[in-house]
A and B are shown apart, each in its own frame.
Chain A
């Protein structure tokens, strides 16, 4: 949805702003060493990398939606997983993430193959991501702190959805 910017777009836009501000400064000596990036830039880059990694984890679990047989969840279970995870607001394009530093380095995240184990893997990843984002919030400037707190809260809301997904899969298997 065009009017609903993805999380990657928002934090990437926030990361660019300090650089624009620096480059727009008339006092920079062009022959001097490039100025060190503002601290916020590093913090935002780390946040972007973490979000990209999370997207890749979901993509790995749901991979065979686009590439049958190649996803960790395997053929028929992928549709089940997709349906179970539907309440999640996974950023648009999550099944084909843009290249990230870790992806370029060839470090695709390993994912369990059993559906319930795959969801447990995502659940643990979401919990860890929410905690890590809170850590970033603690030392961040005001506006970034709000952004990180919001993202951390969003990631926390994914955990009960994943719990429901496990229950759904168990119920379908028992039916």
Chain B
């Protein structure tokens, strides 16, 4: 069982297949594979989310589930066009939170989208224009889905608290400042 862990600095996209570089750099392949792994996890996770919802919420979860399947397929196509074998999905995933109620299912959807956004920011960090564009489009898509499930917006979708930490200035040297 794979852990549905927070994706690191990497990720995937949207409609790049036709523009993907033929022989992509190892860093690009790694980022695309990381995004694909995140999408595999999201597809699994949304299956759980949808199971606990009804009515319009369930319809939305289904639409989001399909969106992640399409993103997964897109990433697989990009990887194949780059000469790489797409990574497979795990048989099952350990959920980051227990899900037994509709409210918990919605919380899981928020977590999934936040982590997907983080994963796609990894593609934004690459210099290939089409891949960066793909990453940005998917960050936006996941931010929109997350905002729906959360019921509010956030200032920095996909950026973790660690990434947003403001670097501290070096502490002044006490001995030096105390001396004339």
B153 touches which of A87, A130, A137, A138 (Cβ 8 Å): A87
Q: Is the interface of B mostly helix, strand, loop or mixed?
A: helix
Contact size range, B: 20 to 34
What residues on A are CB-neighbors of B132 within 8 Å? 137-138, 145
Scan residues 86-145 of chain A and give those whose CB is less than 8 A from a CB of chain B. 86-89, 91, 130, 134, 137-138, 142-143, 145
Instruction: Please tell me if the beta carbons of B127 and A142 are within 8 angstroms of each other in the complex.
Output: yes
Chain A residues touching B, range: 20 to 34
Residues in B122-180 with C-beta less than 8 Å from chain A = 124-127, 129, 132-133, 135-136, 139-140, 142-144, 146-148, 151-159, 163-164, 166-167, 169
Chain B residues with CB below 8 A from A78, complex form: none
The reply to whether B127 and A153 contact each other, CB–CB distance below 8 Å, is no
User: A residues bordering B, Cβ < 8 Å?
Assistant: 4-7, 9-10, 13, 17, 20, 86-89, 91, 130, 134, 137-138, 142-143, 145-147, 149-154, 156-158, 160-161
Q: How far is the CA of A6 from the CA of B154 in the complex (A)?
A: 10
Report B115 CB to chain A, min CB distance, Å.
14
Q: Is B16 an interface residue when CB atoms closer than 8 A count as contact? A: no
User: 8 nearest interchain CB pairs?
Assistant: A153-B143, A142-B125, A157-B147, A153-B140, A87-B152, A149-B136, A157-B153, A149-B124
| B35: Cβ under 8 A from any A Cβ | no
